[in-house]
């Protein structure tokens, strides 16, 4: 069974940093591209980052470019999102999702709250 479990969310002050993790199981993690999608409270889905197998392709939405860094550790079956210079607009639930052209499996998400 495919499982994706996010962790690392929490309360952070504006300008602060946070590192999210996504632990994957039930499939050959190294063979798949992975994504981060976020959802601000009461809002829709925003696709923010993508990483290909062997980190051969990386994408960032303009809203996070230069502040967020996506990475993966295939030995640990894990996906990461390093988030720096956080602002109020980054408050959201962050989901990792497996990439099969469309996004076929999603984690339950981890909540990031940016507030002083």
Partner 1 sequence: EIVLTQSPGTLSLSPGERATLSCRAGQTVSSNYLAWYQQKPGQAPRLLIYGASSRATGIPDRFSGSGSGTDFTLTISRLEPEDFAVYYCQQYGSSPRTFGQGTKVEIK
Smallest distance, partner 1 to C-beta of residue 33, A: 11
Structural contact between residues 70 and 50, judged by C-beta atoms closer than 8 angstroms: yes
Q: By rule CB under 8 A, what count of residues binds partner 1?
A: 18
Smallest distance, partner 1 to C-beta of residue 14, A: 26
Closest by alpha carbon to 77, among 5, 18, 19? 5
Stretch that binds partner 1, among 21-29, 38-46, 65-73, 79-87 (CB under 8 A): 38-46
Pairwise CA distance, residues 7 & 28, whole Å: 20
Smallest distance, partner 1 to C-beta of residue 111, A: 11
Smallest distance, partner 1 to C-beta of residue 22, A: 12
Question: What is the SS3 assignment for 76?
Answer: helix
Closest by alpha carbon to 94, among 76, 79, 103, 107? 107
Write out the two tokens for 23. 């632990």
Site for partner 1 in 65-104 (CB under 8 A): 95, 101-104
Residue 37 exposure: Cα atoms within 13 Å on the Cβ side: 19
Stretch that binds partner 1, among 15-23, 40-48, 63-71, 77-85 (CB under 8 A): 40-48
- 40 belongs to the binding site for partner 1 (CB under 8 A): no
The residues of the shown chain that bind partner 1, judged by CB under 8 A, are: 35, 44-47, 50, 59, 61, 95, 101-109
């Amino acid at each position: 069974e495919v499982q994706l479990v996010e962790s690392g969310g929490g309360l952070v002050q504006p300008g602060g940093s946070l590192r999210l993790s996504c632990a994957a199981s039930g499939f050959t993690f190294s063979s798949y591209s992975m994504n981060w999608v976020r959802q601000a409270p009461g809002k829709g889905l925003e696709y923010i980052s993508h990483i290909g197998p062997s980190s051969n392709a990386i994408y960032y939405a303009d809203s996070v470019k230069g502040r967020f860094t996506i990475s993966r550790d295939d030995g640990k079956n894990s996906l990461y999102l390093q988030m720096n210079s956080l602002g109020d607009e980054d408050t959201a639930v962050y989901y990792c999702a497996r990439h099969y052209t469309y996004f076929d499996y999603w984690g339950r998400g981890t909540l990031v709250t940016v507030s002083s």
